[in-house]
Amino acid sequence: MDRMLVVVFPNESKAYEGKRALQQLDSEGSISVYAYAVLKKNADGTASVKQGDDVGPIGTLVGTSLGSLIGILGGPVGVAMGAAAGMAAGSALDVNNVRVGTDFIDDVQKVLVPPNVAVVAEVDEEWTTPVDTRMEAIGGNVFRRSLSEVRDKVDDEDMAAMKADLAQLKAELAKAHADRKAKLQEQVNQLDTKIQAQLQRAKEKRDAAQRKAQAKVQALKAKADTAKAKAS
């Protein structure tokens, strides 16, 4: 089951220990870690991604649910992203892309305050005991939530509503008197522009999801090949 995992530690040293434990659980086959980052909230309200040598098999946080969550947890002041994170400040601030509830984000934000530091990860996890046991042993407070696809349905319904409005406006335009045609045409143009923009965003989202899915498959295949090589 694909899940968002946030483990909050009392300091940066413990957070890196937690990241190493997460990587070890991945190596053992207890979970699959797709991407991760270490996030530190600073006393002045800013946040920064404290990265190790990589961000997991996905290799970038751009456009992912994880990147969007990190952007939101960074707060209104913004997030200073390390180069290894593969993203610029502000590029992750897409609330619709997070795929977890606002209650989950609120719960994490209440605990992720200085000097606490979090390991944030997107994982495939069939059962919770391996992560919970390992993280609690080193002082980690574990938050998790299954990733939701609900937003896609909302987007589809919103698009259908806009198209219905556009059809109605065009019908009115065809019957309108001359003094109303210019105003109605302006409304048609504005709504059509919004529809085209949303269609483009949806395409970009689908393309990103496809690339991400392919990266996950490759990561799992690489892990299976490694396990097979060790067994032979």
Same domain, 11 and 108: yes
Residue at a domain's end among 121, 148, 175: 148
Q: How far apart are CA 139 and CA 116, in angstroms?
A: 11
Same domain, 127 and 173: no
Q: How far apart are CA 170 and CA 164, in angstroms?
A: 10
- Give the DSSP letter of residue 116: -
The domain total for the chain is 2
Same domain, 136 and 155: no
Length of the chain (residues): 232
Same domain, 206 and 126: no
Same domain, 159 and 174: yes
Domain interval for residue 181: 151-231
Mean pLDDT of the chain: 79
Those residues whose C-beta lies under 8 Å from the C-beta of residue 3, and which sit 6 or more positions away, are 122, 123, 124, 125, 144, 145, 146, 147
Report field, pTM of the whole predicted structure over 0.85: no
Same domain, 82 and 179: no
> What are the pLDDT digits (tens) for 168-215?
889 988 988 888 888 889 888 988 998 888 888 778 777 776 776 677
Residue at a domain's end among 125, 148, 171: 148
Same domain, 94 and 184: no
Those residues whose C-beta lies under 8 Å from the C-beta of residue 129, and which sit 6 or more positions away, are none
> What are the pLDDT digits (tens) for 59-81?
555 457 787 888 888 765 444 44
Radius of gyration of the chain (CA): 22
> What are the pLDDT digits (tens) for 149-167?
545 655 676 688 888 888 9
Q: How far apart are CA 76 and CA 131, in angstroms?
A: 30
Same domain, 70 and 133: yes
Residue 41: strand pairing partners: 47
Same domain, 179 and 136: no
Asked if residue 139 lies in contact with residue 10, where contact means CB atoms within 8 angstroms, the answer is yes
Asked if residue 166 lies in contact with residue 195, where contact means CB atoms within 8 angstroms, the answer is yes
How many angstroms separate the Cα of 109 from the Cα of each of 9, 72, 86, 118, 214? 13, 10, 23, 10, 31
Same domain, 104 and 178: no
Continuous segment of H or E residues that includes residue 120: strand 117-124
The pLDDT of residue 58 is: 47
